[in-house]
Every structure is written in structure tokens, then in C-alpha cells.
Chain A
């Protein structure tokens, strides 16, 4: 049995679209796979979304605390990537675009997703710890959000 976590926007389960911004997504969708079939789908809110800093690390904690050993992500910064690697979790790279959780799980089950070994975008928090977004910056919502 394996649980796969995917950053998403809401709680529509398998119909959710992947949110490319890992640490700042609204929710995580967890899919339990047994014998190559989906046996459970669960949505969990990302309460680290508004964090001043270390959102990536906190998000990894949410993923880990929900029993996932694999994730499928769009963009992933170095803090989150290092954290996943420290936990020996496997990171799969979404091919891009607005794929649904169902579509991504199907790709994963047919071994069509490449493994990501390290961050694929720049750090949000830079060096020197913590910090992150300034006050009053719009976050979440429906936008895909771009990363530098």
C-alpha cells in the first residue's frame, strides 16, 4: 500500500487540478493505492499556506504526517526538496499543465512520471532562515501562480 500526496486547490478529490506552487497551495490531496488501484482519496487543508517562512518545510510535514511516502509536484523549492530527501520520500515531477489528480495518478501507475532529485525552482526564503512574503501579498485563490 502506498499513499501519494499532491498539492491542490480544494477538496474535489480526484478531479482536483495540481497546484504548481508546493508550499503555498490551498490543500493536499492524498490518494491511497493498493494493488495498483485507488482505494482511498482524502483532502487536507494546507494550514502552512500563510506562513511567513518555512512554508515548504511545514508543507512537507503535513505530507509526512498523513502517511504519504510519495509526492507528485509541479514546482519545488530547495527547502521542501531537501526535506523530502531527508525523509527518503520519492518526488515525482508533474509533466506540466493543468492535470487532474486522477490523470497524474494514472501516469504514476504506468511509470510515466520522472523522479525529481532536487529543487526545480529558486528558494522563496533565500538564505538565513525564515521570512518569505511581504505583508498584504495576495496568495492562494485560483491562480496557478508563477515561480521565478
Chain B
């Protein structure tokens, strides 16, 4: 493995939705790709609403590989085995309100969407009338982007309760690709929030970029995201998007960051080039390389690279 940089994995999260994760990941990817020392792979782990593929489309549609995942389990009821004892309903076998009673036919029925596949009904039914089976939980899509690096993303099947599992599947899928051996930088577009799929995204990463904006909810959500990140002991830095927004929260945000001595990776001033670039489905650093936003993002990239080299 000689002089290879060990693969570094960076996740971009925010807590609050819509503050610019996807846009930043696309631009950092573009810059990293042009960097001679970097061999890149990109993941979109916002599996409930993936949209990085819009800005980083495939070279060709034939090239796109889709794999179904089966990480969700659901219960299935077999009427022929049922003796109508109603024990499952009366004794509250199901903790997730997925087992209901069909009065007309005197049998239980399963609320598919509510069912979590926990297996309790299977074990408790004296007649073995329930089975637990894996069902399709989503898809993992892999392709080479027009720009030139592999992109892998996951998309949940609606109604699936296992977003976190799908995120882990996406990461494992990336690790199984032959390109992984020669990759030295993985950038991950994370989901909004701080729950199950975000935790699955940041688990095992080397560095987190937390994006925020100077608004009341931007600050509030950032502090919650940091609380979550700190539990995992992963180093992180903050990017402030729309940094010059006139808001009472400006001061509060800076005080918050200063007091805890958090690292600021960079500030991106409000720049219409960003939504414009998004509307053309292009990373802003490609669409408007001289713009205020692009310059700020380039600086962020340099700082990030420097931090990673010391990790």
C-alpha cells in the first residue's frame, strides 16, 4: 500500500434541512476530483429523499447499477393456520399497533406499514400462524458520474422503517466496490435531522462537516447536531452558509461557536450563484468559478485537506 493516503471518510450533516449539504458536497467533490492527489468516491446517504444524483448524474443511463435491499422484515399472517382464538389481539402481542382485528372474518390482519418485523407474533402465536420475512426495503444505486468518480446512493422504499439499515448497506456496498481499494477520499451527503439515518451515516467516519446558517433554527439545530456528534467522538468543523444574513441570531451563533471553541471551516456569504447553479444542476464551483460562493468553498476545501492530513 506504500505511499497511499489511508482512505479518509467525511460526512456532511446539518441538523436543519435545506441549509446546503448537497450543494456543498457536489462542489467539494468537483474540486477534489481535479486534485491530482485525490482518488474520490461519493455517497448520498440521505436515503429518504436522495437528490445528489441530480447535480452529479451518471455518464450514461445504461451504466447505472441498481440493487434491491431487503433489510426490512415484515410479518405475514397465514389464515389457514388460524383457529380464531383472538389471543394475539386480546393479549396485545404487538407493541407497534400493527396487529388489528377483522371482526367480520374473525381473524387478525396486519397493518403492513406499522409492522416492524419484530417477530413477537411469530413466537407467541400458539398455532404458528405468523411468519417474519425480509421484504424489499429500498435500492442502492451505483454509477460513474459524468465528472468521473463513482457515486453510490440509497433510496428507501416508502413505508420502510429501516432507513438506518439502508444507510449502513450503502456504506458497505461502497466498501465492496473494487474502486474502494484505490480510493483515498470518501465524501458523504448526509440526511437532515439527528436520528436513526444520521447516526448510521456518521458512524465510523473520520471527520464531520456540520453546516448551519445564522437563523434561530439554524443555531438551535446545530447545537443538537453537535450533541449527537460528540457522543461518537468524531472531530468536526462548522461551515456557515448565508453567513452575512441580517439576523439577530448572527451574534448568538458566533458566541455559541466561540464559547465552545469549535472549528469554523469557512463562511459562505449569501450568493445567488448557488441556487442558480442548483437550477442548472451543476456544482456552483463549475457553474460560477469566480463567484463569492466558489471562492469560499475552495478555501473550505483547502482547510479540510489540511485537517485531514493531520488526523
Contact = CB atoms under 8 A, between A and B. Distances in A.
A45 B307 CA distance: 44
Contact of A124 (B118, B161, B162, B172): B172
A134 to B, nearest CB: 4
A127 B196 contact: yes
The residue among B174, B181, B199, B203 with the most chain A CB atoms within 10 A of its own CB is B203
A18 B117 CA distance: 35
B89 interface: no
B93 interface: no
Given A128-B162, A147-B175, A148-B174, A134 B168 contact: no
A131 B71 contact: yes
B165 interface: yes
A119 B165 CA distance: 18
B140 to A, nearest CB: 8
Interface residues of A, number: 22
Interface stretch (B62-70, B78-86, B255-263): B62-70
Size class of the contact patch on chain B = 35 or more
**Which secondary structure dominates where chain A touches chain B?**
loop
The residue among A52, A129, A131 with the most chain B CB atoms within 10 A of its own CB is A131
Contact of B196 (A53, A124, A128, A134): A128
A146 B171 CA distance: 11
Interface string A96-126: 0000000000000000000000010111111
Nearest to A123: B203
B169 interface: yes
A78 interface: yes
Given A131-B162, A134-B69, A135-B134, A126 B175 contact: no
A125 B171 CA distance: 11
B165 A126 contact: yes
B187 to A, nearest CB: 14
A95 interface: no
B256 to A, nearest CB: 28
Nearest to A134: B69
Contacts of B165: 125-128, 130-132
Given A134-B67, A135-B134, A148-B172, A128 B203 contact: no
Given A78-B203, A121-B204, A131-B162, A126 B72 contact: no
B8 interface: no
Contacts of B67: 134
A128 B71 CA distance: 11
Contacts of A125: 165, 168
Given A126-B164, A126-B165, A134 B200 contact: no
A135 B71 CA distance: 9
The residue among A127, A130, A148 with the most chain B CB atoms within 10 A of its own CB is A148
B68 A148 contact: no
A126 B167 contact: yes
B161 A130 contact: no
A125 B73 CA distance: 13
A79 to B, nearest CB: 11
B198 to A, nearest CB: 9
Interface in B197-211: 199-200, 203-205
A66 B35 CA distance: 51
A53 B117 CA distance: 13
Interface of A: 52-53, 78, 119, 121-135, 146-148
14 contacts: A53-B71, A78-B203, A121-B204, A122-B171, A123-B168, A124-B172, A125-B165, A126-B164, A126-B199, A127-B164, A134-B69, A134-B169, A146-B180, A148-B174
Given A123-B204, A134-B70, A147-B172, 7 more contacts: A122-B168, A122-B203, A127-B165, A131-B73, A131-B137, A134-B68, A134-B71
